[in-house]
Each structure stands twice: as structure tokens, then as C-alpha cells.
Amino acid sequence: MLKKYAVDQLKEGMVVGQAVYKEDMSVLLGEGTVLNQQMIDSLSERNIVSVEIREEDGEEALAPMPQKSQGVQGAPAKTIPLKEPILDEGYVRDYGDCFIELKSLFEVTKAHGSVDKDSAETLAQNILPLCSGAKAVAHIHNMTPKGEYTIHHSLHVAILAGLMGKWLKMPRKDQLRLITAGALILIGNLRIEQAMLDKEGVLTPDERKIMQEHPKFGHELIMAGGLGEDKEIAEAVLQYHERGDGSGYPRGLVKEEIGKFARILAIMDMYDAMASDRSYAKKRSPFEVFNILSDDIMNGQLDTEFGFRFIRRVCHSLNGNWVKLSNDEAGKIIYIDESRLAALPVVQTMDGEFMDLNLRTDVKVEYLLTSREIEEE
């Protein structure tokens, strides 16, 4: 039974009966979350008026407070987290359509030697509806692409770029241009042998030198068509591997010389590449990736403003996702402290226990589980 409580009536130990959402419709507190004072304060600060609370026999259900050894600032309700569907059929269908459209654009570009401007712009318009906050982040991680990493990665970067454009409150026209650039970051791979792209293990120095030419190749393909009139898009594809300290490629540019779109896409590209399975590397936990990105921001390689904004927004879009833990348990993310940059989550394990990974240093998130992996747990 559920009952609506005003936020100022909430008590520690109450169990959330219906998910509470943030302004961007990502989950702030998942169903089954056991409230602590920090969570209640956060609700108040966000001007959230009321919360649906789970009750038993007409009285609010207060979960027993945990032992400090559990490392949780709240109480574990002995309820099993629901394995509700993560994937939205409509989103999956639209993603698949955009995947086919982007693959076709790559094939036509290879045949003609230039990127078709109209096709690229139409694709961006079709991708824009996929850039929908928490749903976009969850689907990028939870769909299980089979092969064709180049196309999937390019589409993921385009979607993340669209999200970033919204978070930065860019005009719709600029959001579409940024999405277009994101979708084309790997178009230069068309001039590299597939065997090298699919190689497992470390590239040789000569192979690495060839791979580092792909931004130039992509820039040439864009400049050969009508899209080359948009210098910012062409520049972004050429520069997204450049780094603010001059350590990037192909030109070794420094921060002042790198365009805005390129500085944004550098972050999107790094995040998705490390959080995805590749032929030569297994996917990492997003929280591990956040730490790597933070280090690169602090040492001047990545843009500070765009980098920290991206980490904060994506980190807190992960509520409701399932993760594999280093102790071989599976858990559902039910809370992430928004006041802390790249905070670790509170997860609820399959047996109903709550675990705050900010305090449980002996356990970490290994990776996000896909929908198929969740069903197998």
C-alpha cells in the first residue's frame, strides 16, 4: 500500500514506494530506497513537495536501521529489487533505425569519397529524439551491440553529444551540428584496413601511426562534400583527439587552438570507448571512467567546464541501472549523492541488502549489466 507524504513529514527509515524523478526525468530515488536524512534534505532542496511511501497495514513501513559495518547511511529494507525492463521498445527501434542510417552513410561515403551533407543533417535530426536524459544513458549501456563497433561508437558519441548540447542549453541548430560532428568522428576509419581496426591486442608503432591519421582522413572526406562549408563540424572531426596540454594528435594543438565542438567530443569519445567492449579491451565501470576523465581534466588534457558538467550529469543518470560488483554480486543503483562529483552509488543487492560503495572500500563496481545479463542473474 502506498501513501503520499509531504517532504517535511518524511522520516529516516521510510521506504520509497514510487520512484522520485529529477527535472530531467532521470531517477533521483528509486522504488524501494530507504530514506536517510541526507536524502530527505536533498528532496527539500529540490523543492519536491511529496513522496509516495510504502506502508503496511495503514502505518508507514520503517525499515530497521543497519549496522555501521554495512557502510550505509540508511536502512536496508529486506525487499528484493525489481528486475523491471530497462529497455524501451520504441527507443530500441529508433536506435536501430539510426544505426542503419549511419551505416548507410558510411557506405555511401566510402563509395563516393565524400560525406553527403543532406544525409548527414537528416541523420542528426533523427538522432536528436534519442538524446533524452537518463533513458539515453541507460540504453547506451544496456543494449548489446554485436560487432560493428565503429558504427555503434559513433552513434553513442552522437547521442551523448546531443545530451551535452541540451545540458549546455545550446540552440537546437547547434545541437544538431554537434550531433552531426559526433556521428562522423570515425568516418576516417573508412580509409584504414578493417583487419587493423579489428585487431586484438596492442598495435605496433607503425599501426598506431596509421590509426592516428583517421582524424585527417575524416576531415578530408567532410571537406570533399557540402558539409565542408561548416568549418566547426570539419574542425571537430579533425581535432577531437587533440588535448589541452599538447599531447594529442594529429597536430599536437594546445587548449587555445582546439575548437569548442572538438573539446566536447573528446570527452564523449573517451567515455564511451572505455565504458564499451572493444576488440582489444573489455568495458570498464562508468565510475572508473569518471575517475580517469577527472584526472585528465585536472592535468589539463580535457576541458574543465565541459568535463565536470558531463561527469556530474551522466553519473547521476545511472540511477536504476544494474551493476556487477567485485564480490561477484549483482546490485541495483538506487541512490547517488548529487552534491559530490563522481560519487559512488548506493546499491541494493539481489538479497535485498543495501551497500554504500563510498564507505565499502572493499567492494567496487566492475561494470554495468546489460538487460540480457540482468535476466541471467
pLDDT of residue 35: 86
- Is 203 within a domain? yes
- The CA distance from 173 to 188, in Å, is 25
Do 215 and 299 share a domain, yes or no?
yes
First to last CA, the chain: 28
pLDDT of residue 60: 47
Query: Is residue 126 helix, strand or coil?
Result: helix
Task: Say which range, 82-96, 124-138, 299-313, has the weakest mean pLDDT.
Answer: 82-96
pLDDT of residue 255: 92
pLDDT of residue 67: 40
- The CA distance from 171 to 181, in Å, is 16
Convert the pLDDT of each residue in 240-295 to its tens digit. Answer: 999 999 999 999 999 999 999 999 999 999 999 998 877 667 888 899 999 999 99
pLDDT of residue 141: 78
In the predicted structure, residue 228 carries a pLDDT above the cut 50: yes
In the predicted structure, residue 360 carries a pLDDT above the cut 50: yes
- Is 286 within a domain? yes
Contact assessment for residue 246 and residue 223, using Cβ atoms and an 8 Å cutoff: no
Contact assessment for residue 267 and residue 231, using Cβ atoms and an 8 Å cutoff: no
Q: Which residues contact 45 (CB under 8 A, 6 or more apart)?
A: none
Q: Please give the tally of structural domains in the chain.
A: 3
Tell me which of 70, 97, 121 is where a domain ends.
70
- Is 232 within a domain? yes
- Is 82 within a domain? no
Contact assessment for residue 235 and residue 180, using Cβ atoms and an 8 Å cutoff: no
- The CA distance from 71 to 68, in Å, is 5
Pairing of strands 365-368, 59-60: unpaired
List, in sequence order, every residue forming a beta bridge with 356; answer none if it has no partner: 346
Please give the model's pTM, rounded to 2 decimal places: 0.78
- Classify residue 29 by burial, with Cβ atoms within 10 Å: 0-12, 13-18, 19+: buried
Do 160 and 303 share a domain, yes or no?
yes
In the predicted structure, residue 192 carries a pLDDT above the cut 80: yes
Extended beta strands in 121-210, E state: none
Mean pLDDT comparison of 30-39, 80-89, 138-147, highest-scoring range: 30-39
- Is 80 within a domain? no
- The CA distance from 331 to 369, in Å, is 9
pLDDT of residue 23: 57
Query: Is residue 346 helix, strand or coil?
Result: strand
> What integer is the mean pLDDT of 115-137?
92
User: Within 13 Å of residue 162, how many CA atoms lie on the same side as its CB?
Assistant: 24
Do 138 and 196 share a domain, yes or no?
yes
Do 96 and 188 share a domain, yes or no?
yes
pLDDT of residue 370: 77
Do 128 and 23 share a domain, yes or no?
no
- The CA distance from 326 to 367, in Å, is 9
pLDDT of residue 117: 98
Tell me which of 315, 333, 352 is where a domain ends.
315
- Is 75 within a domain? no
Q: How far is CA 234 from the centre of its chain?
A: 25
Do 225 and 297 share a domain, yes or no?
yes
Residue whose entry in the numeric block shows the C-alpha cell 587552438:
257
Do 168 and 301 share a domain, yes or no?
yes
Do 351 and 271 share a domain, yes or no?
no
CATH number of the domain that residue 271 is part of:
1.10.3210.10
Tell me which of 315, 346, 364 is where a domain ends.
315
Which letter does DSSP use for residue 215 in this model?
H
Do 159 and 286 share a domain, yes or no?
yes
| Band (170; pLDDT cuts 50, 70, 90) | very high
| Band (3; pLDDT cuts 50, 70, 90) | confident
Count of other CB atoms within 10 angstroms of residue 331: 27
Percent of the chain's residues with pLDDT above 90: 54
- Is 251 within a domain? yes
pLDDT of residue 140: 83
Convert the pLDDT of each residue in 297-346 to its tens digit. Answer: 999 999 999 999 999 888 878 888 889 999 999 999 988 876 677 689 99
- Is 77 within a domain? no
Do 97 and 171 share a domain, yes or no?
yes
pLDDT of residue 364: 94
Do 282 and 137 share a domain, yes or no?
yes
215 vs 161, 188, 221, 249, CA distance in Å? 18, 6, 10, 9
pLDDT of residue 76: 42
> What integer is the mean pLDDT of 21-50?
74
Which contiguous run of DSSP H or E holds residue 60?
strand 59-60
Do 305 and 368 share a domain, yes or no?
no
| Band (48; pLDDT cuts 50, 70, 90) | confident
| Residue 35, domain extent | 2-70
CATH number of the domain that residue 45 is part of:
3.90.105.10
Q: What is the largest CA-CA distance in the chain?
A: 71
